[in-house]
Amino acid sequence: MDRKLIRPDSIDEALSERQKYGLDAMPIAGGQSLLVLLRNKLVDPKILIDLERLAELHGLQRQANAISIGAMTTIFTLASSADVEKAPPLGQAATKVGSTAIRNLGTIGGNVCHNEPGADLPPSLLALNAVAELRSKNGTRKVPLGEFFRSYFETVVGPEELLTRVEVPALPNEATGVYLKHAISSEDLAIAGVAVVLIPDGNGGGAVREVRIGLGGVAPVPFRAAKAERALAGAVLKDEAIREAAQIASSEAEPMTDPHASADYRRKMVKVLVRRAIVAAKEQMERKGNGQA
């Protein structure tokens, strides 16, 4: 079929086109995911709305209490930005996305909206309490990432909306974070991906005020392991407590079996990676407490 490409020069123009064409149109960002779907005839939009010219959607803005990331910001930029060093799991996850070519062209907005199982960015964004900014001709709404992912390849983005920015709240200076991934090869999607953020209680005894655990590739959508988080909140991170939390996180997973891994294997990898990620983040926390980082 003939497919029309629209290249708006402003957000308002792009939103007008979204409103005009609704479900007949799809935005295209870096194209790394959408072009694969088009080539395999898994989607067949009549209209493609190219977002490349929309300068407002490119780049990061450092704010007092957050990092605001335009939806068209490339994954390479996330991996190399000094600002993202303040949100360590996100920068680490960005370095693990696909190949160099994919990181150069792929965008945070495309990665999040595509919502492919095993994508690297969502677990870290969840652990960082990120918020999605969605805009339409009728206004702007903000959706916590924990409410953003609906089902396989589905999100809450409406047919007249665009994801314009992702806001990542600033972590306390003493916080630490880690992203770990297990995959068949370094360029593949995660069989299991785990992001951990630790926030110490500030009393110097090794206890944590808050633990955040984001999981990807092991359920219909990426999610926070809330039960495991609660098990560690306020605790001193002893080996036994960490292992118990990892077991709880594994029980929270709802993985599927596919050609890459069985459901049981994915669940076991959650247990392994959660434990390793917490231990690594704990070691960072201890170094910071000793003035070594």
Q: What end-to-end distance do the CA atoms of the chain give, in Å?
A: 57
- pLDDT on residue 133: 98
pLDDT band, residue 273 (cuts 50/70/90): very high
Percent of the chain topping pLDDT 70: 98
Contact present, 212 and 196 (Cβ < 8 Å): yes
Residue 293's pLDDT is 56
| Percent of the chain residues topping a pLDDT of 90 | 76
Whether the CA torsion 214, 216, 222, 226 is positive or negative: it is negative
Q: Are 198 and 207 in contact (CB under 8 A)?
A: no
pLDDT band at 35 (very low <50, low <70, confident <90, very high): confident
pLDDT above 70 for 31: yes
pTM of the model: 0.94
- List domains and CATH numbers for the chain: 4-49+60-169 (3.30.465.10), 176-289 (3.30.390.50)
Question: CB of 19 within 8 A of CB of 137?
Answer: yes
Confidence of residue 2 (pLDDT cuts 50, 70, 90): confident
DSSP-assigned letters across all residues of 4-55: EEE--SSHHHHHHHHHHHGGGEEEESS-TTHHHHHHTTS---SEEEE-TT-G
Q: Is the pLDDT of residue 98 over 90?
A: no
The predicted model gives 199-213 an average pLDDT of 89
pLDDT per residue over 236-267, tens digit each?
999 999 999 999 999 999 999 999 999 999 99
In whole angstroms, give the CA distance from residue 139 to residue 167: 17
What's the pLDDT band for 277 if we cut at 50, 70, 90?
Answer: very high
pLDDT of residue 291: 66
